[in-house]
Structure 1
């Protein structure tokens, strides 16, 4: 019999929350007169602890001759004694029927001296939160939680929800038995949606508050650090809520940190409600499959979590590594025996040493993972699911199949003695990083359930997975820096896989998660002594900071990466960092001349890795952008054409970076007035994009609008209008506002080219309402022209005011936006018949371009001179008009193709002017020349083409 029965031990000095405190104090003061404190029929032995709901005592049950634990509920928890007693009794009876080995048995519920108590099984041991603070392997921790999870699953099957699962509510007995406490006790009311909202928590609360249960007017709400989104939002709690809390608890125990921000309660709540789960720390030995299961269990929407606790536990228990380790052991045994011995005795090519590598992708890409992706896509984008899956599933399958083939080939080559152990290690390391990228990409589809905007990024991320061919390039692998010696080698490899995950977060615009991963690598002081890893981490950090909109910080990171890489001879990182740094200087930091000055160094660094198609083609693309920004159009075009040819030669054009480079080339040609050359490029961009991302990816709208602009300038506005109408029907009510705006602007431009001012005005106005934050000066300039053609003076004046107000005071007056606003203003005023007034903005725009030898400036001067010539002609200033028109023609002939319609427009204007002056033969010559250009590209009913024929008819 337990000795505690004969000599009850008084509790330590009780606090205000101890319901029996006064009795115990009295007994301590008057020991001879005191009797053992009774709680109903239970004799109180000592205080065991306190929690948010009540105080727990060790007691002795005289009737059944056993020690029990009795929880006395706080008075504020039980406001209506009779109602609460009945509900507690109902819960206790249900718990008693469970009799599950992983749930503490509830014996009875009662009342004594106005207190409500619960008597339950006494467990000798420690709580789970104390137990995990001892050195434990991740397998031990997972095993303990699996037991607790089985208890939760059993209770869920009985219809009970815990509502406050956390490590403090789980006990591990001295024999290693895991038991969940307080099941159902937190659920004092029916599980209806009427639960009260969580109490307000002051901003900046200490992280310790996360462990404190929250209550409000008697409603026990849970512990903030472990609460599900539905608890935070005051919604109904279900078994899925327990699943969420279980995953938070296991995450904390495995990784030693919280999955959500602990800066404040609000930050924690925001992360939980939006399903933003922090990645595990770099170098963690816990397999990624465990993290993936936990992250799914912590999804914001209950429906996105596992269907049941049983499914979650099954996923956590699944260990594909068991088979892999067995195979590895067999291979190691074969290697010890010697390859030559195997060959001699079997006459085979050591096939036994290299079983198929497909099991190594278990949990990364297999049928179950494919089903998860299909489920996610159908949930996020049901209307587009078929096209998206058609674009990504075959790519993922091909990538996985190629990975397996390369892994098998590497193993056989090593086993047969064709590849050295060093090369085999390098290939394995490369393939492991590619597998990590594939794993993270597939994982990210689950995140799209919480953030639908991720899906379109993910589609392109699949298409842009890092190339596997690099891992088969023996020469390049052997030329790379050797990895460090053991035991640092495994650590560095793990960090490189972490950086591969961060790169996926970069491609999916999850910058915060990506930066957390990078910081976890940089925080490993021992690992980053291997400087190649340090350079790689800073390169990834800088790239993420660029995306985050922190250009100054990104430059610092790139500098660290660049000089570290140059110092240790890490050629690939030095080359890639230098070209990204140059682009950052030119665009985000607006220092194009500095970037231009550094191009020679950047080119030298990249020439060392010229055989790496991805790195070198990225350099060519970025160098082209720098040349374009400083007005060096010929070198810009040459760089982009070289990049496109290189990618096409190596089968890498059908990737997001390949399409992006081709797009840059097409946009360059449009800007330089090379519409006839640009149009087929944009047709190709659209075709490649559709193959990569499906026909309805938001970027399709941008590509189509660029093509429509080119078609309009080729004299084919009806074709452009038809394409944009089809695009608008396809986009419909897409959530992507920028895509809808692009389609509407394309429609407006085509309508304006057809002189349909009212339709154009309507399209531009709807575009402005669709995405006002993206409707800037140049768009207002288009709306201004449309309003003028529609003779809507108030709308025109308002658009003119908006366009001018949005011009950057410190912007480049030679820049595209500034020029388009003034050009649009002049044409709008001319459309309203305000000819003299129209001369001023056109003359002002041209004056700032005088003396520039930039071909784009020459083309703009030509357009401005053409408009000024037409105005002078309408004002009866014929000599001045002719001078302006001949100047326009000369500007066009100097920089444009002989088939460009701008030349025809100038010739037509000269023909009309000659006819007005009675110079019939000259008028026919000009109009005939104009017609010969129009017919090469324009539609048969193109207005200027009909005008050219009209001039000839009138002249004759």
Structure 2
């Protein structure tokens, strides 16, 4: 390990939570999703799917063994079965949600059955409406086709009607189902098998139409034998002499084997609603033939005399049951308007007239848009599961009573803001999909990204709601939550590597990713030992899984944590180097780019291997440029390149690199805000124009203050950094004294900052002639440095403090001994610019002491070394004290009779 410069502006780039998105998998049963099953009726009481053959379904239900998984979906249980399909409850590990998976029965593997199931998937994928079950995916298991769809927890409409339902309740649910049918018709689709068993009533009251296995494009032509077409939705399953649908609810044209259109669905809807309202079907018939005759002849029975529903509904439904499709309502919208209560009917009819004037779009779209918005409100529920009212209270209680009275409120507000942004992004992703603006694949990618952010929020909430012996850095935890914005960037989310195809591996990967998120949170909280241990365990698990993208992300997280641990540079370099190689092999460009950029920093600032870093810089920039949104990665690459140039005393190129870093960071949507503040400080450190430098320092301090609060250690460090440039020593003394006092009060355990602050204060006090105060501050420096590792840079400051205090006390021999010890301990690091500057400062103190001891020649040699070191390029060259020390060295040489 090489000693770090506590006064340097550049940051090691603390752990970046964007190394790898994570998924929240609290439990399969507790997965946050739209609750639901595609018709979750108790199979012991009533089969609910494809009721073409109830006895056959019952027999097959006993015969079929429960599969362990279907594609990537983990099967949880059986929901129901019918003549052609079996429906399972399953868990999707990729998107952390419960789904319903419909599998074509093994004894129905023919082409028509596969077409029918694919038709259902294709039809549903084209619909985005709150009253239609959403399809997610389709696939094959051997020769069997399956589709994965929304899991609706509830019952089918048939089972729901078995309860005591009022007329108003029945109408409300049927109208909702009618809206789903209307949406299908508006999209050019026909259901062709509408019946109560194919309508789901969720526990939340939402009603949606399901089982579109007979759906087809409106107006498609029947094809004899089902041949001669290419797309599943274009294939007609209507062949001469074959009836598809459920006879009880079929229209006359379906009974006759003619093509069904949207008006056929209207007919089926009216049959089902008549039966629900009046307790009897509108057409008599004890067998299929008798029923078909009654339907084709239009022999509608009167409602029972004791029926509770008003007879006016029968009049409305009779039109929808007309034998001639042309005599029915023009569309479902008109039928639903006719069913509306009299008080609303005028407004609805007027609205429908307007719809007709504008091609049927205006009102229908407005109604659809409102319902879509309501259906896409689940993000708030998901985020509340990890950041609830109870969490609010717990965090408030844990953080209350600390040295910063405003911290609790600021942290809670920050988490609230993040949760709101997450819910907003989740809602917008859902709306975009339902509006047809993005594919299911894009929706899944955006949701994976959002799940990673949700995990980060959950990790932060858990950590901050539990009281610990050492309070966590709560403000930084909140400030460094990964930005939600990239989850709305198509290029970014689609470039993310998909999870493993094997569900078991995917689940294990998700668990490791969650632990990595926890490690990053621990690091931001300042709990580095726990963070490193968690990351090390994650690396071990990733190696065992043999999944390269996860291993690369784990190594990056571990290396980034080690960068911030004193003495961890060698390990960090090793792990970052491996992360780069594995990331490149796995085509995980984001991880490879970040790993290499961080390695550049470690090679320069930690290991002093500037030439090694120089060879890595071009590749670091190139990897960053490969990303879909390269700004944040380029900012990091340019910044650490600037650190390299600064260490090599190339101020012009350092200035150029830091300028580019700030420019890229300002453009980025996902830059770590703490790192961006560091970039500003780095740019200020090489800016010669005093006004420009002051503006950069002021902006740097303001941004950190807004993020962390005025008394956060990082803010206090920035104030100390800014004070180093202050020309007025009296003003500087007041500022530094206040900073040191704040550090003692707010972060008594932060001994590194205490040592550095008191060292600066001691020198200022000495220059102002306040010898006693200077001695006290210098003693504090030594006391704090004693608690740091042996090679920590502050031990060199402690030697300097000991030597200066001895000079002030007239103990010149003791001062020379302290300087000798410091040179012996840190002289081997003299090629590092900041160490060289500190060694030069020690030589200045040595020269003072030797002059006092009348050892002129030795003093001159020491002072000349001081002039050489202080005038050479180094990180603190522009600081006020550094310039004063250089002036002192030259003046003492003149006093000794030697030209400086």
Give the TM-score normalised by structure 1: 0.51
- 1-side partners of 2:608 and 2:216: how far apart? 60
* C-alpha spacing 1:491/1:840, structure 2 compared with 1 (3 Å): closer
- 2-side partners of 1:593 and 1:369: how far apart? 50
- 2-side partners of 1:731 and 1:864: how far apart? 26
Residue 236 of structure 2 is matched in structure 1 by none
Deviations 1:559-581 (A, max 9, x none): 43322322232221221121122
Query: Relative contact order (C-alpha < 8 Å, sep 6+): which is higher?
Result: 2
Residue 734 of structure 2 is matched in structure 1 by 722
- 1-side partners of 2:206 and 2:563: how far apart? 45
- Which residue of 761, 768, 773 maps to 1:747? 761
Deviations 1:206-231 (A, max 9, x none): xxxxxxxxxxxxxxxxxxxxxxxxxx
- 2-side partners of 1:324 and 1:377: how far apart? 40
- 2-side partners of 1:482 and 1:138: how far apart? 20
- 2-side partners of 1:604 and 1:461: how far apart? 31
Residue 525 of structure 2 is matched in structure 1 by 508
**Does the aligned pair in 1 maintain the 2:391–2:465 contact within 8 Å?**
no
* C-alpha spacing 1:504/1:459, structure 2 compared with 1 (3 Å): same
Q: Give the unaligned 5+ runs of structure 1.
A: 1-136, 141-282, 288-321, 885-956
Mapped pair 1:348 → 2:368? yes
Residue 560 of structure 2 is matched in structure 1 by 543
- 1-side partners of 2:95 and 2:626: how far apart? 36
**Partner SS state of residue 541, structure 1:** helix
Alpha-carbon distance, 1:675 to partner: 6.1
Q: How does 1:48-127 map to 2 (within 5 A)?
A: none
CA RMSD of aligned residues (A): 4.3
Alpha-carbon distance, 1:440 to partner: 0.5
Residue 763 of structure 1 is matched in structure 2 by 777
* C-alpha spacing 1:686/1:325, structure 2 compared with 1 (3 Å): farther
**Does the aligned pair in 2 maintain the 1:825–1:838 contact within 8 Å?**
yes
- Which residue of 840, 855, 861 maps to 1:840? 861
Residue 821 of structure 1 is matched in structure 2 by 842
**Partner SS state of residue 357, structure 1:** helix
**Does the aligned pair in 1 maintain the 2:398–2:465 contact within 8 Å?**
yes
Mapped pair 1:473 → 2:489? yes
- 2-side partners of 1:383 and 1:855: how far apart? 35
Residue 450 of structure 1 is matched in structure 2 by 468
Alpha-carbon distance, 1:426 to partner: 0.5
Mapped pair 1:459 → 2:469? no
Mapped pair 1:812 → 2:831? yes
* C-alpha spacing 1:649/1:843, structure 2 compared with 1 (3 Å): same
- 2-side partners of 1:802 and 1:469: how far apart? 53
- 2-side partners of 1:824 and 1:638: how far apart? 36
**Does the aligned pair in 2 maintain the 1:503–1:514 contact within 8 Å?**
yes
* C-alpha spacing 1:563/1:873, structure 2 compared with 1 (3 Å): closer
**Larger deviation, residues 681-690 vs 405-414:** 681-690
Q: How does 1:686-697 map to 2 (within 5 A)?
A: 686-697=701-712
Residue 588 of structure 1 is matched in structure 2 by 606
Residue 682 of structure 1 is matched in structure 2 by 697
- 2-side partners of 1:355 and 1:813: how far apart? 56
Alpha-carbon distance, 1:739 to partner: 3.8
Give the TM-score normalised by structure 2: 0.54
Deviations 1:617-653 (A, max 9, x none): 2222222222222333322222222222332344778
Alpha-carbon distance, 1:763 to partner: 1.7
Alpha-carbon distance, 1:361 to partner: 1.8
Q: Give the unaligned 5+ runs of structure 2.
A: 1-26, 31-92, 98-149, 155-201, 218-261, 266-330, 334-363, 789-793
- 1-side partners of 2:584 and 2:886: how far apart? 52
- Which residue of 638, 647, 652 maps to 1:629? 647
Deviations 1:357-377 (A, max 9, x none): 211123411221111111111
Q: How does 1:388-787 map to 2 (within 5 A)?
A: 388-447=407-466, 449-452=467-470, 454-456=471-473, 458-485=474-501, 487=503, 492-511=509-528, 513-514=530-531, 518=535, 528=545, 530-547=547-564, 549-609=567-627, 611-650=629-668, 655-668=673-686, 677-711=692-726, 714=727, 716-734=728-746, 735-736=748-749, 737-774=751-788, 775-785=794-804, 787=806
Q: How does 1:866-905 map to 2 (within 5 A)?
A: 867=888, 869-871=890-892, 873-875=894-896, 877=897, 881=899, 884=900
- 2-side partners of 1:731 and 1:668: how far apart? 27
How many corresponding residue pairs? 554
Q: How does 1:154-169 map to 2 (within 5 A)?
A: none
**Does the aligned pair in 2 maintain the 1:562–1:578 contact within 8 Å?**
yes
**Does the aligned pair in 2 maintain the 1:551–1:584 contact within 8 Å?**
yes
Alpha-carbon distance, 1:600 to partner: 1.2
**Does the aligned pair in 1 maintain the 2:816–2:849 contact within 8 Å?**
no
